[in-house]
Structure 1
Amino acid sequence: MPFAEHPLEETNPLTARFRSFEHVQTPRAGRTVARWLGGLGILIILAGFLPWTQNIRSTGQLTTLRPQDRPQTVPSTIGGRIDKWLVREGQRVKRGDTLVLITEIKEKYFDPELLVRTREQLAAKISSLEENKGKTVALGDQQVALRSGLAVSLDKARNKVSQTRLKVNSDEAELRAANNDFSIAEQQLARQEALYKQGLKSLTELEQRRLKFQESTAKRQAVENKLGASRQELTNAQLELSSLQAEYQDKLAKSESDRRSAVAYQFDSEGQIAKLRNELANLSIRSGYYHITAPQDGYVVRALKEGLGEIIKEGEDIVTIMPIAPALAAELYVKPMDIPLLRVGRKVRLQFDGWPALVFSGWPGTSFGTFGGRVAVIDNIDSQGQYRILVIPDPELEAWPKPLRVGSGVYGWALLDDVPIWYELWRQLNGFPPDFVGRPAESAKKDAKKAAKPTGSAEEEEVK
């Protein structure tokens, strides 16, 4: 079949010189494919300049931002035996509601009237202390009386010593007079005897003089005896004065010893009273631990102990409670090489397990079924080679689904800077990390304030 002549080939001077061009013709299908391929190439080249949002992919699970919102186990403060269950699994409870009743298993606390008896012991000890204080006061008054009696007795004994000394002085003067009388009587007797020998005096007069001499001698002897007795009485008075002081000192020392013993007993009683009060307070607090109560509003998720009569140890977990309306946060784990690219307030897109989604990681605005968030916490230490971050809901975007539960899986894309698609392909082919672009401190502070604001607003909404 002859080829149709092309009108362009007739006018083209180059083709007119060669006869072979008269037998060659380009098929129309080839032209169409070439045009489509050229247009597609142009579109690809143009698409390479479209913006692409760099991101950091990570996985994790749902948790809570506040520690008190996380599932918690309720332990038993004391050891005991399960006596009665007052809740079931899945039941909603309020703070302070009794979950389980337990009874004692220690012999020390078996007595049902233990609190009453301890109060009686405390009251008896307090009464004993009051009486002992009265005894201490009485002993102090006794010492005052003894010191007063000592002063009076010493004055009396000193007066007696003074009186006896005066008596001794009087007896000494009387003795001197008696000695003078004796000397005179002796001289008169000697002269009388001389006169009698000369015949001038009679025998009767001599005998009278001798009688007076004997009387003078007897009087002097009596005065000497009286003086000796007075001196002995003075010595006894002085000894009595010394013994009196020693006697009172002994009584005062004994009274002081009794007083100190009473004070020591008083301090010991105060220590025992403090110990009894401590024991009473411990017993009162312990009696409140027989009712294991809910620490906050929530749901009973699981009973860790079953049945009645089961023995539980001190500090052993009994039930697990999930708080009501926790402030959810996504717990994601990021590679160490990506951590420098993140900061508090950085936007994140999240996909939750069980929630249908169509994701275009480079074009977050065109994705379906993803939800926005902001980085609230970045850990400073790694956990098994990865760093943990916490992402909270972004208040400026759609709210997270209410059916979400703590522990479900999460996929996250931390949004970074926008770059051309050709650059992102080149980076991926070469294995380079995303671009790290610095920013001013003021913008960092604004992002930090924005990241802190959702947490407070979420708490306020929960309180309302």
Structure 2
Amino acid sequence: MLNISNNKVSEYIDLKKFESGKEIFTKEYHKRFKIFLLVFSIALIIILFLPWTQNITSNGNVTTIKPNQRPQTIQSQIPGRIEEWFVQEGNIVKKGDTILRISEVKSDYFDKKLAERTDNQITAKSSSVAAYKSKVGALKNQISALKQERVLKLKQAKNKLIQTRLKVKTDSIDLVAAKIKADIAKTQFNRAVLLQQEGLKAVKDVEEKRAKLQEAEAKLISQENKFLSANNDVVISELSISTLNATYADKLAKAQSNLYTAQSSGYDTEVEVSKLETNLANYQKRNSLLFITAPQDGLINKTIKSGVGETFKEGEHLVNIMPTNYELAVEMYVRPIDLPLLHLDEKVRVQFDGWPAIVFSGWPNVSYGTYGAKVIAIENYSSKNGMYRVLLAPDKNEVMWPKDIRVGSGAKTIALLDDVPIWFEMWRQLNSFPPNFYQPNQGKNKKYQNKE
């Protein structure tokens, strides 16, 4: 039985005569197995030549196409203290609905009448601006009056100067006449003295001539005095013109200085008014920020800050909200070696978590539970995981995605590439070659356009 010896029992005894020998040696057990192996080999060879769609499989998450449709948190622009909640988790809110009311925690804004008091300050400062404008107008009128008065005064002084100069001319003529008369009187006096010495004239005539001479000399001296006085009046008139110019220049400079001071004060007050108006607008805006409202229609997912009386800083997350209206998409991550094989508008199959599927990645036509999608965006830089993010949108030409899918749920994606035989794909996988470089026939350069 164990074939230890070279002597075989079957040479001496016919084992087929026995019942057990008939059951064992008269039946062909390997015939069916050989037929099975033959059929299986033929089927395997046929399968190896069947078409296989090369693909890129990846895991992803359900998201939305537009950034404003994704889950978001609501923050406060100012620090505060929670005073009252108007919603609870699970509530649906409309855009502008009040979510919670907060109060100030900074002492600079504790005054409830801060905006009203600031408005009163603006009113007072505005009145001051009006007063400065009136003062500027009055100073301008004063300067105009001073300029007009200076013109008239200078005209009067110049006329007086002309008069004095004419008087100097007149006095100079009179002085010449007085000199001539004095010379004549002296000549007559000398002649009378000679004639009196010769006995031709009486002493009385000489005395008369002496008196006339003295009178002529006195008139000459008086006329010289008048002439000098007239010259002095000319100098005084010229000095008066210079004095008028200096006086009115000083008055105008002082008035213009007051004008500039009033204008500067008015501008400073206008700046203060502008600052107060800015503060008032900030206070009013800050008061409106005491009520946190919904930025868009959505569902309150979670209240991050809870309770009443809890304080928070500006920018802290308070509430998580999910928009009501959104368009689903799937984000998948692919290896850098597979990135050149993906293009815009390329077809992709998606399997969502919670929707069981029998998936044959290479035979999409016999897969169940997968849904059509197409590539709408491809990132140009890698994510933190070292892979590239690709965004998929529903393919409108195929079955619509399930309505019960939630943003954030998992998904498996299969990007369909080139059709090759199965033996080629097995050979490629064993050698770790990349898939064939694939260019879609249609829409490879189209950009995704969102039609609202």
Q: Aligned pair in 2 of structure 1 residues 406, 228: CA closer, same or farther (>3 Å)?
A: same
Report the CA distance between 1:2 and its aligned residue: 10
> Is 2:281 aligned against 1:285?
no
Q: Is the 8 A contact 2:83 2:308 kept in 1?
A: yes
**Deviation digits for residues 41-93 of structure 1, max 9, x if unmatched?**
32222232222222222112211221111111111111222222111112111
Alignment correspondent of 1:13: none
Alignment correspondent of 2:333: 333
Tell me the number of residue pairs that the alignment of Structure 1 and Structure 2 aligns: 431
Normalized per residue, the structure richer in helix is 1
Alignment correspondent of 2:161: 161
Q: Aligned pair in 2 of structure 1 residues 337, 231: CA closer, same or farther (>3 Å)?
A: closer
SS in 1 for 2:87: coil
Report the CA distance between 1:203 and its aligned residue: 4.1
Q: Aligned pair in 2 of structure 1 residues 420, 188: CA closer, same or farther (>3 Å)?
A: closer
**Deviation digits for residues 419-460 of structure 1, max 9, x if unmatched?**
333333333333333333445xxx242x565x847x53xxx4
Q: Aligned pair in 2 of structure 1 residues 311, 196: CA closer, same or farther (>3 Å)?
A: same
> Is 2:210 aligned against 1:214?
no
Alignment correspondent of 1:7: none
| Equivalent-residue separation in structure 2 for 1:263 and 1:425 (angstroms) | 90
Q: Is the 8 A contact 2:334 2:389 kept in 1?
A: yes
Alignment correspondent of 1:401: 402
> Is 2:319 aligned against 1:343?
no
Q: Aligned pair in 2 of structure 1 residues 432, 181: CA closer, same or farther (>3 Å)?
A: closer
SS in 2 for 1:436: coil
Q: Is the 8 A contact 2:50 2:422 kept in 1?
A: yes
Deviates more, 1:160-169 or 1:179-188: 179-188
Report the CA distance between 1:204 and its aligned residue: 4.0
SS in 2 for 1:121: helix
User: Could you list the runs of 5+ residues in structure 1 that have no partner in the other structure?
Assistant: 4-24
Q: Aligned pair in 2 of structure 1 residues 401, 203: CA closer, same or farther (>3 Å)?
A: same
Q: Where do residues 226-241 of structure 1 align in structure 2 (5 Å cutoff)?
A: 226-241=226-241
User: Could you list the runs of 5+ residues in structure 2 that have no partner in the other structure?
Assistant: 1-13, 17-24
Q: Aligned pair in 2 of structure 1 residues 170, 421: CA closer, same or farther (>3 Å)?
A: closer
Report the CA distance between 1:373 and its aligned residue: 1.8
SS in 1 for 2:390: strand
Q: TM-score when scaled to structure 1?
A: 0.84
Alignment correspondent of 2:255: 255
Q: Where do residues 19-418 of structure 1 align in structure 2 (5 Å cutoff)?
A: 27-383=27-383, 384-418=385-419
**Deviation digits for residues 273-314 of structure 1, max 9, x if unmatched?**
332332222222222211111111111111121222222212
Q: CA RMSD in A?
A: 2.6
Alignment correspondent of 2:431: 430
| Equivalent-residue separation in structure 1 for 2:326 and 2:172 (angstroms) | 115
Deviates more, 1:194-203 or 1:359-368: 194-203
**Deviation digits for residues 326-345 of structure 1, max 9, x if unmatched?**
21212211122222222222
| Equivalent-residue separation in structure 1 for 2:26 and 2:422 (angstroms) | 36
| Equivalent-residue separation in structure 2 for 1:358 and 1:318 (angstroms) | 43
**Deviation digits for residues 30-49 of structure 1, max 9, x if unmatched?**
43333333233322222322
**Deviation digits for residues 217-247 of structure 1, max 9, x if unmatched?**
3222222222222222222122112212222
Q: Aligned pair in 2 of structure 1 residues 171, 448: CA closer, same or farther (>3 Å)?
A: closer
Q: TM-score when scaled to structure 2?
A: 0.87
Letter in 1 for 2:91: Q
| Equivalent-residue separation in structure 1 for 2:308 and 2:448 (angstroms) | 48
| Equivalent-residue separation in structure 1 for 2:54 and 2:149 (angstroms) | 105
Report the CA distance between 1:202 and its aligned residue: 4.2
User: Percentage identity across aligned positions?
Assistant: 46
Deviates more, 1:236-245 or 1:198-207: 198-207
| Equivalent-residue separation in structure 1 for 2:197 and 2:264 (angstroms) | 93
SS in 2 for 1:81: strand
Deviates more, 1:236-245 or 1:263-272: 263-272
Q: Aligned pair in 2 of structure 1 residues 434, 161: CA closer, same or farther (>3 Å)?
A: closer
**Deviation digits for residues 385-418 of structure 1, max 9, x if unmatched?**
2121122222222222222212222122222233
Letter in 2 for 1:417: D
